[in-house]
Chains A and B, each alone.
Chain A
Amino acid sequence: DTGVSQNPRHKITKRGQNVTFRCDPISEHNRLYWYRQTLGQGPEFLTYFQNEAQLEKSRLLSDRFSAERPKGSFSTLEIQRTEQGDSAMYLCASSLSLASSYNEQFFGPGTRLTVL
């Protein structure tokens, strides 16, 4: 399977614990995005990387959230001191940047986080 992969697919944790999710984009894609989706809503943008550089973070990304893409390939999203409001589906997407026009973002299957 050469699509975007995410691990784990499901995570149940207790409030206050730290969690880390991993995203492996499509191999030649240089752009990587993290989104969060709650029930009944569309995905909300969290952050974006071009290669290893994190170029934008949404205000939704509080200080408890940190994302990295150290070698410009896979990315991790860490949530510290989880809260019940962090329960959501965390989606990763990747795309290949070209000089112009839109480049389709391919989404991974997501990591569903439940904070008890």
Chain B
Amino acid sequence: GEQVEQRPPHLSVREGDSAVITCTYTDPNSYYFFWYKQEPGASLQLLMKVFSSTEINEGQGFTVLLNKKDKRLSLNLTAAHPGDSAAYFCAVRITGNTRKLIFGLGTTLQVQP
């Protein structure tokens, strides 16, 4: 089945620095990709969804890049601030009618002032 590898597991940056989290996946039938943020005690918050093509999506303070050729998905926080400190998870949906998501193991990001 689909396997999603997320790197790095832990990341510590200073305020204003960029932070890059990358996921690679194996199933060529993967077609829909998500990034979630999880703060302690809170829900998984959807940051961005990306479709099945090489795509760069920009959100508030971050950029998401999908490269289907390399089966790679990345999240780039362009100028991190302490409020970005949280766990980040990528998730992949594969073709089929179950609609379930396959998650990476997450990246715990610490942004130091």
A and B from one assembly?
Answer: no
